[in-house]
Amino acid sequence: MTTHANQFRDTLPPDEVMLEPAGQFGADLRNLRSAVHRAADRQTTEPVPFGWLNAAKRRRHAAQRLMVLAWTCAALLCIGALPFLHHAKPVVSRSSDTVARQVVTETDDTALLEQVDTAVSESVPSSLAPLDALDTLNSPSPTSTQPTLHAPEKKNVAQ
Amino acid sequence: MGHMVSTELPPLARAQSVLELADFDEVVRLYRPRIFRFLMASISDRDVAETLTQDCFLKAYNARHQFRGESSLNTWLTRIALNLVRDHLRSRRMRFWQKTRETALDIVDVGEWIPDGASTPEDVCLQQERVREIWQAVEKLSRQQRTVFLLRFVEEMELSEIAESTGMNTSTVKSHLYRALRIVRERASGKSEGEQQ
């Protein structure tokens, strides 16, 4: 790229040719210069009016005030948005709390069930043997065909 | 003008500044037409050019203690004007919905500008037409090419001065000038040939 640029610069015409084109084009450029000068002179021939730079100063001050106002608005918006940001955070923590609580509850239930299982699987003392036999009779067994105490008698239903 | 500066602007704080308060009136008087002309040609809008000329001199006044005299005053003011043009064009791009160029400059308001060496009305019309074509071609140049072109062929600045004002190398200025000249010549001549056919 640099080589290409250097090659381009080497092919540039001499300064005299470039700075003052000759012929019709040169004359056209001089006419252009004359036209621009004439157009500008129409406005600048009058003396500089009193307080000429005041307008620029006013614009500058207005721009500064606008900038201050813009920054103030931005700051107020940020401050106004802070409570919303604050509110948004607890929702996230609450949901995580719920999940944690659910996990704890599930753990508790499992432990309780295990405890119940252990208690149930314990051997029944001999003094409670008749009750155990009664419970066996009451519990419905899919394989058993014997009627339980709570089951309605088919004979009565049929009658 | 002397009253304007001495009454409206704050007094100089530094005694050893390059531009004295009294001289600034003279600076404005001498350089205002030149800066206005360059800005008007760059932006093609008289009102904006006037506004930016004011801004340019206000900036120069506020930064006068930074001017160390390493470059000419014309170069320094032109550099400030160039920065203003760049900022203005950037902001105009941002505010594209606004109507711009309400006071757009038609460089050859026919009847207002009459070429000096024209002898007959046909010559006048012909030369005005050629200038208009060149101006239209210049308006379509890239910003850098246009800046270099205007500084050279309207403001008649030397290459070294243009380089100093724009912050480019002299060789870069030459490249831009060469390309700008070629484009303007091609566009202007192409349009003339097209119209003749």
Residues of A in contact with B28 (CB under 8 A): 48, 52
CB contact under 8 A, B37 and A44: yes
Structural domains in chain B?
1-105 (1.10.1740.10), 108-197 (1.10.10.10)
Report the alpha-carbon distance of residue A118 to residue B71 in Å, rounded: 100
Q: Taking residues B103-120, report their average pLDDT.
A: 64
Find residues 62-101 of chain B whose CB sits inside 8 Å of chain A. none
| CB neighbours of residue A66 within 10 Å | 10
Backbone φ and ψ for A134, nearest 5 degrees, come out as: -65, -40
Report the alpha-carbon distance of residue A8 to residue B172 in Å, rounded: 11
pLDDT of residue A9: 53
Q: For residue B51, what is the nearest residue in chain A, using CA coordinates?
A: A56
Closest-CA distance, B124 to chain A, in angstroms, reads: 11
pLDDT of residue B190: 73
Global pTM?
A: 0.63
Retrieve residue B108's tokens.
């050859």
pLDDT of residue A139: 67
CB contact under 8 A, B9 and A36: no
Please state the separation of Cα B31 from the chain's center in Å. Answer: 12
- Contact between A36 and B41 under an 8 Å Cβ cutoff? The reply is yes
Residues of B in contact with A31 (CB under 8 A): 115, 127, 130-131
Q: How confident is the model at residue B1 (pLDDT cuts 50, 70, 90)?
A: very low
Indicate if the pLDDT at residue B104 is higher than 50. yes
> Which member of B36, B115, B159 has the closest CB to residue A43?
B36
Q: Is the dihedral of CA A112, A114, A120, A122 positive or negative?
A: negative
Higher-scoring residue by pLDDT: B37, A129: B37
Only one residue has tokens 């730079």, namely A53
- Contact between B165 and B75 under an 8 Å Cβ cutoff? The reply is yes
Q: How confident is the model at residue B3 (pLDDT cuts 50, 70, 90)?
A: very low
Question: Residues B93-102: pLDDT tens digits?
Answer: 666 665 555 5
Q: Could you report the predicted ipTM of this complex, rounded to two decimals?
A: 0.78
pLDDT of residue A24: 84
Please state the separation of Cα A113 from the chain's center in Å. Answer: 44
Q: What is the DSSP string of B166-188?
A: HT--HHHHHHHHHHHHHHHHHHH
Q: Is B185 touching A (CB cutoff 8 A)?
A: yes
- Contact between B115 and A34 under an 8 Å Cβ cutoff? The reply is yes
- Local confidence pLDDT in tens for the 159 residues of chain A: 455 555 555 566 666 666 778 788 888 888 889 888 888 887 777 777 777 778 778 888 888 898 999 999 999 999 888 888 777 665 555 566 676 677 667 677 888 888 888 877 767 677 777 777 777 777 665 555 555 455 554 545 444
Q: Contacts by B6-14 with C-beta closer than 8 Å and gap 24+?
A: B8/A51, B8/A53, B8/A54, B8/A57, B9/A53, B9/B61, B13/B65, B14/B65
C-alpha count within 13 angstroms, C-beta hemisphere, residue B124: 12
Residues of B in contact with A48 (CB under 8 A): 1, 4, 28-29, 32
The three-class DSSP label of residue B104 is strand
Q: Give the best residue of B3, B161, B174, B179 to mutate against chain A (max A CB count within 10 A).
A: B174
- Contact between B145 and B183 under an 8 Å Cβ cutoff? The reply is yes
Closest-CA distance, A103 to chain B, in angstroms, reads: 56
pLDDT of residue B39: 94
Report the alpha-carbon distance of residue B43 to residue B49 in Å, rounded: 7
